[in-house]
């Protein structure tokens, strides 16, 4: 399952907005609070996470490593690194969904309802 599909099938439209606005760090995404959950998510989505981060860096006119170094502070372990990259990727997807909704490309509430109904 792609990260976008995961977000749509596990988060409400309101929660997606909260993640886009405030990030995952405050526990908004309750499925990704604990290291055990974020590490498992990272391991399952590693390639897509790096692709999302690389694309985001390119959109900002910078290298992937420069982007990551700006986004991450006080990371001391591999676990913390994977946790932070997981959160960044989910936040990028949520921001993308909110932008698509605001520009009328999708109806976020309908997308969430559709994704949740197919589980």
**Digit-coded pLDDT (tens) for 64-98:** 999 998 888 788 999 999 999 999 999 999 999 99
**Digit-coded pLDDT (tens) for 2-53:** 999 999 999 999 999 999 999 999 899 999 999 999 999 999 999 999 999 9
What's the domain range around 23? Answer: 3-117
What's the Cα-to-Cα distance from 82 to each of 19, 32, 39, 61, 68, rounded to whole Å? 18, 12, 6, 23, 12
> What's the structural domain count of the chain?
1
């Amino acid at each position: 399952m792609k990260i976008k599909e995961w977000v749509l099938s596990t988060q409400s439209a309101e929660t997606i907005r909260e993640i886009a606005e405030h990030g995952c760090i405050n526990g908004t995404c309750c499925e990704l609070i604990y290291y055990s959950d974020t590490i498992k998510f990272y391991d399952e989505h590693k390639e897509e996470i790096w692709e999302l981060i690389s694309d985001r860096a390119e959109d900002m006119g910078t290298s992937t490593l420069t982007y990551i170094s700006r986004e991450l502070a006080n990371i001391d372990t591999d676990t913390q690194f994977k946790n932070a990259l997981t959160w960044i990727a989910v936040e990028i997807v949520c921001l993308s969904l909110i932008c698509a909704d605001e520009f009328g490309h999708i109806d976020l509430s309908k997308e969430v309802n559709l994704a949740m109904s197919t589980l």
